[in-house]
Amino acid sequence: MASKNIPTKDRLIFAMDVPDCDRARALADELGDAVSFYKIGLELMMSGGYFELLDWMLERDKKVFCDLKFFDIPATVGSAVRQLKDRGASFVTVHGNQSIMEAAAENKGDTLKVLGVTVLTSLDRGDLDDLGFDCNVGDLVLSRARRALEAGCDGVISSGLEVPRLRELVDSKLLVVTPGIRPVDNKPEGDQKRVVTVETAFASGVDYIVVGRPIRDAQSPRAAAESIQASIASVVEG
């Protein structure tokens, strides 16, 4: 069970995976107080108006996770994180080896938290074979989490399937943010292969979950978000 002092409502991060910022604002207005934490990523970055959207959300007392998965030479990643650190975002993701994560951690400032990506939830054993990794998914997640901790990152992105072993390794030293959440069952959907339910995620020790399509594509996104919030509360508040 996640035990950090995190407001229950903040534990749900909605993945704002929509084509443009106008759609993002409309959806945020529709969700209202059912969601307090948003993930905005590469699709919105490339649509234009990314930082205006970030500021718009902050003005409405929302928390923002900039899921940009910085991956470049360490100096460039460090500079990119330094540019972002005073923009008001809560989280940013980095993807790469230890020196890349170290550069991000060294430049994050006092409020921005750096999350190291372990293994994307769209990857399975066959994908790792294609990439040349001679280990199973769980071992790779643990190795990358250990390196993230040593590099000074604040947390990691990990599938809920690996979190029990991850907690044994790092205890509560890292935040764990889990995408690939399916509110009802454990069936993969679309490009997500390693998925878990809300209840399983938090019972395993996850701190935050990231949910996109089950909210965005629901007949009532607000009702879907409220239902997930109720599920979270039932686990973390007993």
Q: What is the pLDDT of residue 195?
A: 66
Token pair for residue 106? 């060294």
**Which residue shows structure tokens 């979270």?**
232
Whether residue 3 is contained in a domain is answered as no
Residue 61: name the closest of 96, 23, 88 by CA. 88
The question of whether 69 is a catalytic residue gets the answer yes
- Position 120 scores a pLDDT of 55
Within-domain flag for 238: no
How much is the pLDDT for 141? 75
Tally of domains in the chain: 1
Res 184: pLDDT = 54
Sign of CA dihedral 12, 18, 21, 25: negative
pLDDT < 50 regions, the chain: 1-2, 123, 125, 127-128, 131, 185-186, 188, 190-194
Question: The domain containing residue 67 runs over which residues?
Answer: 8-233
- State the CATH number of the domain containing residue 106: 3.20.20.70
Please pick, among 4, 9, 39, 69, the residue that the annotation labels catalytic.
69
> Tokens standing for 85?
């650190």
Q: CA 60, CA 29: separation in Å to the nearest integer?
A: 10
18: in domain: yes
Query: Would residue 1 count as lying in a domain?
Result: no
The whole-number pLDDT of residue 1 equals 47
pLDDT value for 186? 43
Burial 48-66 (b: 16+ CB within 10 A, else e): ebbeebbebbeeeebbbbb
What integer pLDDT is reported at residue 96 of this predicted model?
83
Q: Which pTM was predicted? A: 0.89
Does a structural domain hold residue 180? yes
Taken in order 139, 106, 11, 179, the sign of the CA dihedral is: negative
